[in-house]
Amino acid sequence: MTFRSVTTVLILTAWQGTLLAQSMEPVAPAPPSATMTFLKVLFALLITLLFIAGIAWFARRYQRFSAPTQVIKILGGVSLGQRERAVLIQVGDVQLVLGVGSGSVNTLHVMSTPVQPSPITPIESFSARLKQSLRQRDGE
């Protein structure tokens, strides 16, 4: 091989390497579209709201289970008007009849003998009532 051919090969190889290096440069990514940005923000907002709702649900459910350990128990009540109620509560061994209105609570009576509330009978489920009515209809 002659000096001239070796030089030509080296120059061509260097030139090809330069072209190859230029083609391998990182290309800047395209900016995200406005629609994709909006969807990402909307998804993050939805996840945040679901998290807050889950915390509120858990707190309310946990509070319901801790309620029987309270000192004050509401034994019953009746509505006397649009904004007035009479409520029977028990504090320790003492039972009170309270009048509850908009913005005020008044003691109506202190019970000398405690009233035993009647046990609440469980309400039948809808499916049980439906089955019973279908049986009655088929029997007739």
pLDDT in tens, 113-122: 888 767 766 7
Q: pLDDT at position 97, please? A: 93
Residue-by-residue DSSP string for 39-62:
HHHHHHHHHHHHHHHHHHHHHHHH
pLDDT tens, residue by residue, 49-99:
999 999 998 888 877 655 556 788 888 889 988 889 999 998 888 899 999
Q: Let me know: does 75 contact 117? Beta carbons within 8 Å.
A: yes
pLDDT tens, residue by residue, 6-34:
677 666 666 565 655 555 566 677 788 88
pTM over 0.85: no
| Largest separation between any pair of C-alpha atoms in the chain | 126
Q: pLDDT at position 6, please? A: 64
CA dihedral 21, 26, 28, 29 (to 10 degrees): 130
Total number of residues shown for the chain: 140
Query: Domain ranges in the chain?
Result: 32-69, 70-111
